[in-house]
Structure 1
Amino acid sequence: MSAQLLCYFSGLAFVRCGYGHYNRTFLLIWQNSRAPPTYRECLQQHTDFNPPENRLSLIPPALLRDLGYSDETTLILDVGCNSGELSGAFYKHLVPEEQSDRRKVHLLGFDLDETLVQRAQEINPLPSRITFIPLDITKDTNQLQDYLSQHGCSHFHLCLCLAVTMWVHLNHGDSGLLQLLSRLSSMSQHLLLEAQPWKCYRSAARRLRKLGRSDFDHFKTLKIQGDVADHAREHLERHCGMELIQSFGSTAWDRKLLLFRKT
């Protein structure tokens, strides 16, 4: 995610935060009214809005073991890893420090934004186990296939797709969303999905209109609306050979965490 200051006045900062070109705009109330926030400060405030704990509190630490992954090489894919904070926290949540040397668990995170990927690499807590790369999955998966080959695997054991679907949906339409789900399911044994609800779409579009900007390319033509998570479940089960095996409830932002398995 990148952060760009749009305007600043008397402690109020409009900041556009984006997953690559999937941009979001937030109003930050900045305490230091003499100077606008820096890029790093904007990014930190956005991270504070939805810290890793909001999701991790719903995920059992023994998830990998419960799914049958214990001693063998286990690969995790984090789609839209941002600057890596959640990736690192998720890894440590599933693989305690005392087990990290013994267990062969590797995580690959990718993001459209090369600046964010560079930051993720700089703060990477476990560079021998966690890797970050710049990638646009809507265009290319060769790097993902190369990573699998390097580890002698044909698929990722667990794929994380957390709060990414809406931005792909808004910028690539219904077909783009379904293509993303199909692509992830084709290379994953398990998929942990957090799809933004429709009210988030309306909020994102409303923020753009208030700033006098044009709407998202596909917002008014989307046919997949309402319960987007249920639409995603239906596509994964009907067309991708996956089944919903568990719901971990909803996050503080009222987003369902759904776990799917390849049948």
Structure 2
Amino acid sequence: MAAPVREYRKALRDMELPGGAALYGNFPSYSRFHPPEGRIRLLPATLLSRLFPSVLPRPLLGLDVGCNSGELSVALYKHLLGLQESRASQEHWNDLHLLCCDIDAGLIEKAEQRSPFPASICYATLNIMDPNARETLLSSYLTRFGRSTFDICFCMSVTMWIHLNHGDSGLVMFLSCLASKCTYLLLEPQPWKCYRAAARRLRKLGRHDFDHFRSLTINGNMADRITQILTTDCAMELVSCFGSTNWDRRLLLFKSKESELPL
């Protein structure tokens, strides 16, 4: 077994962290095993100019939910602004601001310490399923820019943990919340096999199953099921699938049907 795989499985076994933090998927050193490049390589270099073809008299605002220790947030920021190479077509999008949140305060502290763009990327500890905390943070951030919604939201490998910890109704509520907060939603759902693996790891540790695992009726092809929820119940449309990562997770882009911005 290759060393990185052994290290990854060891990290997954670290669900015995104080307070059960890893039960929410926020494993330390996560980006070592699912590196940002695995997602970034799938995204078009001209994504922002395609989604927002006209120069707007305001900065673009992004929300990254479940940012872990920030490596992917920074990689997305650099990729979307074309900072890794010269892209004249994206020069007008040099004012992008990201709010990145995670349930784990320790991971957020690491992200803040390492951030190369503190003026443009803001990190905050947040339980996204706490409506009072969520609305307080998001509204406060948006108000700074005179806005009521984000231009784009990123949600990478978060849906399973919401689903396992909050059940079917929690997943629907989470997706509905994200849909109401942004014009575009870039989503990476975990496939059902990841649910079974997470439950199996928990049992091997001698713990009880996730509270909702055996009662979930939203199951099977999770990318399709989540797409159905977003398009049927959340006033969004699927506009693109950018392919799958090496760990077999699809990158799906949705757009709010209520937005008047052109594709």
Q: TM-score range by the shorter chain?
A: 0.7 to 0.9
The aligned counterpart of 1:23 is 23
Long gaps (5+) in structure 1 = 1-11, 26-41
Determine which structure has the larger helix proportion and give its number. Answer: 2
- Closer/same/farther in 2, CA of residues 173 and 21 from structure 1, 3 Å limit: farther
- Closer/same/farther in 2, CA of residues 222 and 22 from structure 1, 3 Å limit: farther
Question: Aligned partners of 1:100 and 1:131: how far apart in 2?
Answer: 22
State how 1:125-204 maps to structure 2 within 5 Å.
Answer: 125-139=116-130, 140-204=134-198
Q: Which amino acid aligns with 2:182?
A: S
Secondary structure, aligned partner of 1:86: helix
Deviations 1:154-198 (A, max 9, x none): 211110011000001000000000000000000100000111000
Secondary structure, aligned partner of 1:43: coil
Q: Which one of 115, 118, 121 corresponds to residue 124 of structure 1? A: 115
Question: Aligned partners of 2:20 and 2:139: how far apart in 1?
Answer: 22
Deviations 1:96-138 (A, max 9, x none): 3377897211011000111111111110110111100111111
Secondary structure, aligned partner of 1:141: helix
State how 1:67-106 maps to structure 2 within 5 Å.
Answer: 67-68=51-52, 71-72=55-56, 73-97=59-83, 103-106=94-97
Deviations 1:17-68 (A, max 9, x none): 889745279xxxxxxxxxxxxxxxx833x32110000000100121111001
Q: Which one of 17, 26, 43 corresponds to residue 28 of structure 2? A: 43
Contact 2:190 2:249 in 1 (8 A): yes
Question: Aligned partners of 2:236 and 2:223: how far apart in 1?
Answer: 14
The CA deviation at 1:238 is 1.0
Contact 1:80 1:112 in 2 (8 A): yes
Question: Aligned partners of 1:20 and 1:178: how far apart in 2?
Answer: 24
Provide the TM-score with structure 2 as the length reference: 0.83
Secondary structure, aligned partner of 2:15: strand
State how 1:208-227 maps to structure 2 within 5 Å.
Answer: 208-227=202-221
Q: What is the aligned residue count?
A: 235
Determine which structure has the larger strand proportion and give its number. Answer: 1
- Closer/same/farther in 2, CA of residues 22 and 240 from structure 1, 3 Å limit: farther
- Closer/same/farther in 2, CA of residues 223 and 22 from structure 1, 3 Å limit: farther
The CA deviation at 1:146 is 1.2
Contact 1:54 1:251 in 2 (8 A): yes
Provide the TM-score with structure 1 as the length reference: 0.83
The CA deviation at 1:70 is 5.7
Q: Which one of 108, 115, 125 corresponds to residue 99 of structure 2? A: 108
Q: Share of identical aligned residues, percent?
A: 49
Secondary structure, aligned partner of 2:101: strand
Deviations 1:60-83 (A, max 9, x none): 121111001564310111000101
- Closer/same/farther in 2, CA of residues 17 and 229 from structure 1, 3 Å limit: farther
RMSD: 2.2
